[in-house]
Amino acid sequence: MKAIVLLSGGLDSTVCAVLAARSFQANQVAGLNILYGQKHFKESQAAKNVANRLGLGNYETINLSKKLFEGAGSTLIDKGKEIPLGPYPQESGPVSTYVPFRNGTFISIATAFALRVNAEAIYFGAHTEDALNWAYPDCTPEFLGAMKNAVWVGTYHRVRLITPLEWLTKSDIVKLGHELNAPFELTWSCYQGGEEACGRCATCISRLKAFKTNGLIDPIKYQAIGEG
């Protein structure tokens, strides 16, 4: 393999996978999906479908112990905590859907996987709106820069962390994915693990808005369309 893509099954990582498959041969790209106790584990099946559609050369799911992230108060994980509805808050600071240092763990695990399959690159789809207002500090350019150094140094200079969406908005990503025929219809973004996307949680609202801004229709089904 030449490259790894961290594939959640969502829209951003799907566009990342398309970019990796364009830079390398699709069959030289390996998809890595990580289950971490998230309520919306449904996205894992979406990841698999995307990997199949793109013809990735390798695909693995790693099932992490729930113990790693449970009990820190994340609404994406903890049973007693409700996922909030409505858009991401405008004010700066922690969001309840932050999973403690999740992306540090994901990038580290992807690095071990990259070394195992002799890949030289890891694609990771954090984008500028994830980083906005310190919502997800483990998506900021500062965090990613630090991890890029750690990955490069910590692998005997063999593996690089690549973040092609780092400076793009959700709307930019939808535009790019549309131009490159990303299989948006296979993706899953909703934080709630329902039958259809809820249309009312922050990630649904952000996604719907990004399609609307581009004059496009989101091809997945929604229960309701929330206010963006």
Q: What are the residues binding its own copies (CB under 8 A)?
A: 62-65, 67-69, 71-72, 93-94, 100-105, 107-109, 111-112, 115-116, 134, 137-138, 140, 142-143, 145-147, 149-151, 153-156
Closer residue to its own copies (CB): 113 or 184: 113
Q: Smallest distance, Å, CB 72 to its own copies?
A: 4
Closer residue to its own copies (CB): 157 or 195: 157
Dihedrals phi, psi of 60, to nearest 5 degrees = -135, 145
Residue-wise DSSP of 37-103: S-TTTTHHHHHHHHHHHHT-SEEEEEE--GGGTTTS--TTT-TTSPPPBSSPPSSSS--TT--TTHH
Token digits for 57? 């050369």
Residue 13's nearest CA partner among 31, 35, 1 is 31
Neighbours of 56 (CB within 10 A): 25
Token digits for 60? 């693995």
Q: Smallest distance, Å, CB 132 to its own copies?
A: 14
User: Please, what's the largest Cα pairwise distance for the chain?
Assistant: 50
Crossing angle of helices 11-23/170-179, nearest 10°?
50
Closer residue to its own copies (CB): 10 or 37: 37
Q: Smallest distance, Å, CB 111 to its own copies?
A: 4
Contact assessment for residue 176 and residue 168, using Cβ atoms and an 8 Å cutoff: yes
Rounded to the nearest 5 degrees, what angle is found at the Cα of 218, between the Cα atoms of 214 and 222? 140
Closer residue to its own copies (CB): 127 or 175: 127
Q: Smallest distance, Å, CB 84 to its own copies?
A: 18
Closer residue to its own copies (CB): 129 or 218: 129
Q: Smallest distance, Å, CB 147 to its own copies?
A: 5
Q: Smallest distance, Å, CB 171 to its own copies?
A: 25
Closer residue to its own copies (CB): 8 or 187: 8
